[in-house]
Chains A and B, each alone.
Chain A
Amino acid sequence: MALIRNLLEFLIRIAILVVIIIILIPILLLAAYHLLGPTFPIEPSMLLDPSETLAFTLKLMDTDLFRITVFPGFTFVALYAAIAGLWERKLLAKMQLRVGPLYAGRFEGILQPIADVLKLLSKELVIPKVVDRFFYILAPLLTVIIATAAVAVIPVTDKWVIARSDVGVLVIFAVLGFFPITALMAAWSSNSRYPLLGGLRALHQMVSYEIPLILSALAPVVYAGSLNLIDIVRVQSSVWFILLAPVSAIVFLVCALAELERIPFDLPEAEPELVSGWLTEYGGMNFGLILGIAVYIKLYVLSALFTLLFLGGWLGPAFLPPEFWFILKSFIVTTLLLIPRGVFPRLRIDLLLKQSWARYLILALLNLLVAALVVLSGFSLR
């Protein structure tokens, strides 16, 4: 009897969901139509006539709406996040002689991300009574929003970019500067001790490693003489900046690891001491939004930025399309950022902070001054 009642309850909830979706989709379509309106002359006949389908699709692919929602925008990075998450689990499992996800999708657990999302969506949402509900719910949302805002200025090629900003590098660093705030927001609104300790550690760590990160990104900017990411890649057609500024590149990778709170710098989430750091009180899809989507979008942003600044972006031999080269290079950098998790132990917090200020800051400044001297001595790539 109880089983039937539970089943009925579940079916009613599904029905409510379907009704909401049916109401929402026309509203969203209408909004999209108005967003496209002036730049995109759409006629109902184009949708119905099969001979116009290709022309219609090509026209659609040339709009801002398509770029924001699909290719360099949200769908692409969400897919990249899912693939990077699965790749991380499989790679670490193989490094530690385990098997990793195995059953979902028959072949090597390839459908595991979908299974994870379905599980998180259907889990009971446990929110502790003492939390500050508004900010508790807002923190994961804001983390995803901020991570995706940084994607807007990253060019996959010179054609596939959402916002052609002249100050792209600065925009990305400005957006990255918001992450300590969301971490602290989640920690403070949880009203619990482990999250508070983890949040304060996250604040110190992200803030300390932001300075070397910014300064190491300045060396390529000095060589290229531009803050526009498309220009920076074009200048690298003869030589990649990783050869001209190798110390900056290494400092950038280390600081990216620290900004991402990955092992060896995962003190904010250190399991043996802090349970799960500033994420301790989160569960279900709230947790999934931060750890499943936002963190991996941030991983994509930092590896794409490394590719653009040091590895020549989409430049590569012509037998493959430039989009492929960009995604391949970003994925290799992502793998480089994932591997330390299977290799290194964790640092202590005072050593971690001291290392940032006493070593990486000085190294980044030295390489910056060397780059400035090289440019002042008359060396130019343009």
Chain B
Amino acid sequence: MGSDLLLILFTAAFAAAASVPMIIIPLIISPKKPTKPKEMQYECGQIPSGAGKMSLMMQYYAYLLMFVAFDVMSMFLFAWGLSIQTVGLNGFFVVVLFIGLLLVPLGFTLYHAGRREIW
């Protein structure tokens, strides 16, 4: 496993070595004629006003919270899926119960994300 990880890191490092020139070459050969409008951020031709990093409604925040729960659940299911022969039918019913328990908060999330009047 150690050498596998090293090989994956080498592949990523080669990708970095191959794409850094792609950023450096334009710095050297491309023309530079900066003007003021060019260096503004883009807002459909308007002169931008105010901060770009504004505060936004996180109306789908409930989904992000569900992701935290379900990501852990999916990893747990991977562990169960690999040892399915050893845990047998009893383990299967436990997992069905576990998924059923998680579907209750999922239904609650879907209900709350659908309530547009509270945003």
Q: In chain A, what residue has the closest Cβ to B109?
A: A357
Select from chain A the residue with minimum beta-carbon distance to B25. A121
Q: Could you tell me the distance between the alpha carbons of A277 and B52 in the complex, rounded to whole angstroms?
A: 14
Question: A208 is contacted by which of B22, B40, B63 (Cβ under 8 Å)?
Answer: B63
Contact A129–B42 (Cβ < 8 Å): no
Task: Tell whether A58 is near chain B: CB-to-CB under 8 Å.
Answer: no
* Cα distance A144–B16 in the bound complex, in angstroms: 8
Q: Report B61-119 residues with CB < 8 Å from chain A CB.
A: 63-64, 66-67, 70-71, 74, 77-78, 81-82, 84-85, 88-89, 92, 95-96, 99, 106, 109-110, 113-114
Q: How big is the A interface, by class?
A: 35 or more
Given the complex, which residues of B lie within 8 Å of A104, measured CB to CB?
none
* Contact call A68/B10, Cβ cutoff below 8 A: yes
Contact present for B78 and A218 (CB under 8 Å): yes
Indicate if the CB atoms of A13 and B8 lie closer than 8 Å. no
Instruction: Give the residue among A137, A148, A166 with the most B Cβ atoms within 10 A.
Output: A148
Residues of chain B having any CB pair with chain A under 8 Å: 1, 3-5, 7-12, 14-20, 22-23, 25-34, 38-44, 48, 51-54, 56, 60, 63-64, 66-67, 70-71, 74, 77-78, 81-82, 84-85, 88-89, 92, 95-96, 99, 106, 109-110, 113-114
A–B complex contacts, Cβ < 8 Å, 24 sampled = A10-B29, A17-B29, A121-B29, A121-B30, A125-B32, A148-B14, A148-B15, A162-B7, A163-B8, A163-B11, A192-B43, A193-B52, A193-B54, A196-B53, A200-B56, A211-B67, A214-B74, A218-B81, A226-B82, A275-B44, A350-B113, A357-B63, A357-B109, A361-B106
Given contacts A68-B10, A124-B33, A226-B82, 14 further A-B contacts (CB under 8 A): A14-B29, A64-B10, A122-B26, A123-B26, A124-B30, A128-B40, A130-B41, A149-B9, A207-B63, A207-B67, A281-B42, A368-B81, A372-B92, A376-B85
